[in-house]
A = this chain, B = another copy of it.
Amino acid sequence: MPPLYRKIATELRKRIISGELSPGDKLPTETQLQDQYDVSRNTVRLATALLLNEGLVESVPGRTGGMVVRERVTLTYHASRAEMPHGLWAESDAWFGEVRAQGHEPTQEFELRIEAVTAAIAERLGVEADSTVAVRRCIRRVNGQPSSVQSSYYPMDLCETVPELLSPRDIPHGTTRLLAERGYQQLGAEDELVAAMPTPEEVTLLRLNPGTPVLHYIRTGFTADRPVRVSVTTFAGDRNRVVYTLGDAEVIARFRDRDSTE
């Protein structure tokens, strides 16, 4: 027999998932739920806290506020199209194009820092634990709302050959192409994907609601000799999706076309 607050949460959750309550609708107020279930306000709040943590609702204070059922808009990020392997597009160009194609307005802000590496980055980048790296950080927004944060790490010795990396602005045709032009051609990459709960820093950066997980997407790019770049992208979990196309992309495109014309 589950405790009261769980039962209340379960009933409300059902009403949300079934569609009886659709995005934008409001749950009964705390007072209404108190009366309805004949419980204390504290118990009601335990129930709604569960739904908040599941990301099903968000709370809006004020006269006309309440617990509002959240909407889920998903933006797709095509990882296998970005910067690989005969990279026609710069990664940021690719992202801009994708967002626009999905009917939204992309913006991004760049930032450059020189930092000491963390253990996780050092290992992937194949540099000493106490070395410094150039970090190109980029906040990407969709319709003004923060959507993802990307930090790209480059070994310092690379920046001597390619000083443009130290520019705190967008690089016109993308860093991948720039590196290739200077003899560092990215031949392979390894992508890692992890779901996690955000750190408080990520919460403020991405304006995450409580209960929103993030998707960490870590790409390590290799030339023939060694890793030349590690980029860590943090996606707001409820607003993003990462997609890979494997094998023959034609068969998939063909199906999509047939699908949309029928």
Mark A residues whose CB is within 8 Å of B.
10, 13, 49, 53-55, 74, 79-80, 84-85, 126, 186-198, 200, 210-215, 220, 222-227, 235, 237-238, 240-252, 255, 259
Contact = CB atoms under 8 A, between A and B. Distances in A.
A196 B213 contact: yes
B54 A190 contact: no
Given A10-B200, A223-B251, 18 more contacts: A13-B200, A49-B49, A53-B210, A55-B197, A85-B247, A126-B259, A186-B247, A187-B251, A189-B245, A189-B247, A191-B244, A191-B246, A194-B240, A194-B242, A195-B214, A215-B215, A222-B255, A227-B255
Nearest to A259: B126
**Chain A contact residues, majority secondary structure:** mixed
A194 B255 contact: no
Contact of A191 (B85, B220, B240, B243): B243
Contacts of A192: 241-243
A224 B251 contact: yes
For A74, A194, A195, A245, which residue has the most chain B Cβ atoms within 10 angstroms?
Answer: A195
Nearest to A86: B247
Contact of A241 (B74, B194, B210, B240): B194
24 contacts: A53-B197, A54-B197, A55-B196, A85-B248, A187-B247, A188-B247, A188-B251, A189-B245, A190-B243, A190-B244, A190-B246, A192-B243, A193-B242, A194-B215, A194-B242, A195-B195, A195-B213, A195-B214, A195-B215, A195-B235, A195-B237, A196-B213, A197-B212, A215-B215
